[in-house]
Amino acid sequence: MKTKNSILGATVILALAVLALGPALRGADVTLSFDHFYDYAELTRSIQALQQAYPQFVTITSIGKSYLGKDIWAVILNNPKTGSAEHKAGYYIDGNIHGNEIQGAEVALYTLYYLLKNYGLTDFTTRLMDERTFYVVPTMNPDSRDYFLHKPTNANSPRSGLRPMDDDRDGLADEDDADDLDGDGSITLMRKKDPNGNFRSDPNDPRLMIPVKPGEKGEYTVLGEEGIDNDGDGLVNEDGLGGYDMNRNFGWNWQPDYVQRGAGEFPHCFPETKAVADFILSHPNIAGVQSFHNFGGMILRGPGAKNLGEYNPVDRRVYDFIGKQGEKILPGYRYVTVYKDMYTVYGGTIDFTYQTLGIFTFSNELDLDPGTTESTEKKKSAEEEENVMSRVFGGQQNMTYYDNVLMGAEFKDWKPYKHPLYGDIEIGGVKKFGTRVPPLFRLAETCHRNAAFCLYHADQMPRLSISEAKVKAMGDDLYQVDVTVANSRITPSMSAQAAQKKIYRPDRLTVEGGQLLAAGSLYDKFQGLTSKIETNNKNFVWLENGIPGFGQVELRLMVKAKDKLTLLFDSVKGGICSTTIELKK
């Protein structure tokens, strides 16, 4: 079954041709369009086409299987001519962790596409591809993604993975989901005329409903989403598809299901969550993470829950620098904290990657309310806000948008229906593509601006260099070497969280071609004052706190060597840089 979106949107141009011709078209161009949503099969073909066209840069790997057995694809971008992937600062992106929050996959795919298409054309993109490694999982939830695109749903489901769960505890699983009673491909609302109901028609537009005030006469009872009592228990739609939430299942500050609904039996018990966690853990060079959700136009940072406390001020400086710039890249988006400005999340991606792994992580809630734009959005009056918030299940607040911009495509007028339980009712409201996701004419902008934010964050990961090395001969093949390791970006090579919790090994400066006799931190280079760094008779020194953002570390080394020596700086999150020094006696 094809959806309207797959019919309206263009398919991937040249993708199948590239796959069919194989090596003959290696290096050939691939054109992807971002005027439609990609189902799993087309998404798979697209990343495979990119691999065929750019084999020197692209590696595709399956990091695990979804509950229904679909491969969860990860795409790795690296230029091997400028170094191995693991020796560069890595940037990770995932999308579509929630099945109905689909456009994150398009943003992830667009980011890959943009980097590859623009390599060699713009200095910025070329430098990023040369200096960074990109790890991209376009869809964490391929099962629910396809269900959302191809089956009747509402805008909010299926959010879960599709492992059957007994939500109503009747011994059966997923036996009473919503039903597309009118056959229009969307699950909308049911209402019944009722003089004692809690809602009445909005006088400004009778298609909308607002709650009755004390002393007012009601007109309707809202019955909820389309559906019937499939299991004969007297309830409607009480046991829908799935029931677990991957973004409540990560292994930090996880809480059981009675505290955090959808959390599962234990952390990483769901195959999708485990696959992503294992993948990130197996790539310790990842220094930045972006996870895409929808909607509301937000650039989120943690903590997800108040019990974790606020971030270290040094790390907050990094978050604020990038997040506030993000508000300029993404007009209308707000840079906010999850638990303070949205709601509490236990066991989420943000807390797992930052608290456990010390990685600077953002989660963007993609797209503003569908009826707003950057130029027209304004604060509503109290009365307007009351009406907007009470228009059942949201998304119906701007009928001008539905009528004149979408031209009726995503709003269904109320129509009579004979319900087996409720009798004469009406079915209508906003369809599944009418909210949460951008209209197709704005999808490309969503993709480009959010990709731009990702690439800005990736560029602000540590960029290290040995900016200076001064040598002074001391006689008898003994040399004093003053070396400066600098970082030209806001992100330190070790987050304060990582340094404080000793999450991974410190940065390391190694002397090759000579013997390191002593080392010190040069805290006053004008007077030559140092504090000793213990070498333990090794040929390297540890830098326990790494290289600060927009900062540097100056060291003084005493080295015994002959003709030349190499200084190699190795940072887990910041990559490798080196310099070779010719020694003169």
We report the CATH number of the domain holding residue 556 as: 2.60.40.1510
* pLDDT tens, residue by residue, 319-349: 999 999 999 999 999 999 999 999 999 999 9
pLDDT at 370: 66
* pLDDT tens, residue by residue, 190-211: 999 999 999 998 888 888 888 9
pLDDT at 7: 33
Residue 156 lies in a domain: no
Mean pLDDT comparison of 65-69, 257-261, 398-402, highest-scoring range:
65-69
127 and 8 in a common domain: yes
Q: How confident is the model at residue 415 (pLDDT cuts 50, 70, 90)?
A: very high
**Predicted confidence (pLDDT) at residue 136 exceeds the cutoff of 90:** yes
C-alpha–C-alpha distance, residues 440 and 407, integer Å: 13
* pLDDT tens, residue by residue, 257-291: 999 989 999 999 999 999 999 999 999 999 999 99
Taking residues 102-119, what's their average pLDDT? 97
C-alpha–C-alpha distance, residues 572 and 553, integer Å: 17
Q: How confident is the model at residue 173 (pLDDT cuts 50, 70, 90)?
A: confident
C-alpha–C-alpha distance, residues 403 and 184, integer Å: 18
Taking residues 401-409, what's their average pLDDT? 90
35 and 83 in a common domain: yes
**Predicted confidence (pLDDT) at residue 133 exceeds the cutoff of 80:** yes
Taking residues 153-166, what's their average pLDDT? 89
pLDDT at 175: 85
Which one-letter amino acid corresponds to residue 126?
T
444 and 427 in a common domain: no
283 and 208 in a common domain: no
**Predicted confidence (pLDDT) at residue 224 exceeds the cutoff of 60:** yes
389 and 513 in a common domain: no
Q: How confident is the model at residue 172 (pLDDT cuts 50, 70, 90)?
A: confident
pLDDT at 9: 36
Cβ distance 207 to 403 under 8 Å? Answer: no
* pLDDT tens, residue by residue, 441-493: 999 999 999 999 999 999 999 999 998 889 999 888 999 999 999 999 999 99
pLDDT at 124: 97
C-alpha–C-alpha distance, residues 207 and 411, integer Å: 10
389 and 269 in a common domain: no
Residue 124 lies in a domain: yes
pLDDT at 152: 94
Q: How confident is the model at residue 397 (pLDDT cuts 50, 70, 90)?
A: low
C-alpha–C-alpha distance, residues 480 and 518, integer Å: 10
443 and 324 in a common domain: yes
**Predicted confidence (pLDDT) at residue 565 exceeds the cutoff of 80:** yes
SS3 174: coil
Cβ distance 19 to 168 under 8 Å? Answer: no
Residue 157 lies in a domain: no
C-alpha–C-alpha distance, residues 221 and 573, integer Å: 57
Q: Which two tokens stand for residue 96?
A: 């579509």
**Predicted confidence (pLDDT) at residue 388 exceeds the cutoff of 60:** no
C-alpha–C-alpha distance, residues 514 and 533, integer Å: 18
Q: Which two tokens stand for residue 568?
A: 């190699």
pLDDT at 528: 80
38 and 129 in a common domain: yes
**Predicted confidence (pLDDT) at residue 168 exceeds the cutoff of 90:** no
252 and 227 in a common domain: no
**Predicted confidence (pLDDT) at residue 83 exceeds the cutoff of 70:** yes
pLDDT at 215: 87
Number of domains in the chain: 3
Check residue 226 and report its DSSP letter.
S
89 and 9 in a common domain: yes
452 and 326 in a common domain: yes
Taking residues 491-520, what's their average pLDDT? 95
pLDDT at 28: 55
Which of 10-14, 199-203, 301-305, 361-365 has the least mean pLDDT? 10-14
pLDDT at 468: 84
C-alpha–C-alpha distance, residues 118 and 374, integer Å: 28
Q: Which helix (H) or strand (E) holds 107?
A: helix 103-118
125 and 229 in a common domain: no
DSSP assignment string, 46-90: HHHHHHHH-TTTEEEEEEEE-TTS-EEEEEEE--GGG--GGGSEE
Residue 372 lies in a domain: no
Spatial CB neighbours of 215, under 8 Å, sequence gap ≥ 6: none
Structural domain of 129: 4-148+244-367+438-458
Q: Which two tokens stand for residue 365?
A: 């809630």
CATH of the domain at 93: 3.40.630.10
* pLDDT tens, residue by residue, 523-558: 887 788 878 888 888 999 999 999 999 999 999 999
**Stated pTM of the model:** 0.90
Residue 374 lies in a domain: no
Residue 538 lies in a domain: yes
Cβ distance 100 to 87 under 8 Å? Answer: no
Residue 401 lies in a domain: yes
Mean pLDDT estimate for the chain: 89
Residue 373 lies in a domain: no
pLDDT at 531: 87
| Closest C-alpha to 429, from 193, 139, 224, 203 | 224
